[in-house]
Amino acid sequence: MNPTELPNDPSAFPEQEASFALSGPAGKLEAMTDVAERAEARRGVAVICHPNPVQGGTMHNKVVTMVERSLRESGLDTVRFNFRGTGESAGSYDNGIGESDDLAAVVAWVRKVRPGDAVWLAGFSFGSYVTLRNAVALKADVLISIAPPAGRWSFEAIAIPTCPWLVVMGEEDEVVDPQTVFDWIDSLAQPPKLVRMPETGHFFHRRLMDLRGAIKHDVRDWLPPPRS
């Protein structure tokens, strides 16, 4: 069903995989949620952001879907959404500024329907830039950055989070220069946990299962308490 045909802003987090529209600052935002297996469920929700829509990025990107799967298998419920102007989301691309407002609207909905839950932010490429630049303001409990585009976007003025933070970077990324990312991380007073994946390009071709394993392994100590 087209998300625009569904009610806006569900008053509760759906109990199974669902697609719907959320109210965003530029109009409706196309969103999808899914839930962890009951036996594994934790008191947390992960909001996951997609790569640059100008290059075709959407919430259905294969890296985004693998990040979603990894976190759901770790016990978190998940939210993916399309930034403004992507898919069924209203508005137009805004160089990370309006997209930051979109993210804030989704996080506000999560906190409304899941008060008391930990809120994790995760993003791939441009999505990792958007989540990073808003992690402090949105009081993220955990941040996960996949191929953060240091050198392609200005990171200098971003407030660096103090929450647990994981960065996964392919050593043969052909879109984001890996050494620029490593140098940026080395410059930080409070650097993230870094996973360097050898023989891995930007889109993790043939390495998606390795990405899944890395995420699940490296977030284990940060997981919130069981939901039950």
19 — pLDDT class (breaks 50, 70, 90): very high
Whether residue 46 lies inside any domain: the answer is yes
Beta bridge partners of 24: 27
Domain range spanning residue 81? 3-220
- Is residue 98 situated within a structural domain? yes
Task: Please tell me the pTM assigned to this model.
Answer: 0.95
Q: What mean pLDDT value characterizes the chain?
A: 95
225 domain-assigned:
no
CA quadruple 79, 83, 88, 90: dihedral sign = positive
226 found inside a domain: no
Contact 128, 51 (CB under 8 A): no
Q: Hey, what amino acid is at 161?
A: P
For residues 60 and 70, give the distance between their C-alpha atoms in angstroms, rounded to a whole number: 15
| Euclidean distance between CA atoms 170 and 150, whole angstroms | 13
In the 8-state DSSP scheme, what is residue 100? H
Closest Cα partner for 21 from 102, 94, 96? 102
In sequence order, what are the residues at sequence separation of 6 or more whose Cβ sits closer than 8 angstroms to the Cβ of residue 150?
176, 177, 180, 181, 184
pLDDT at 211 over 80: yes
Percent of the chain having pLDDT more than 70? 96
Domain assignment present for 129: yes
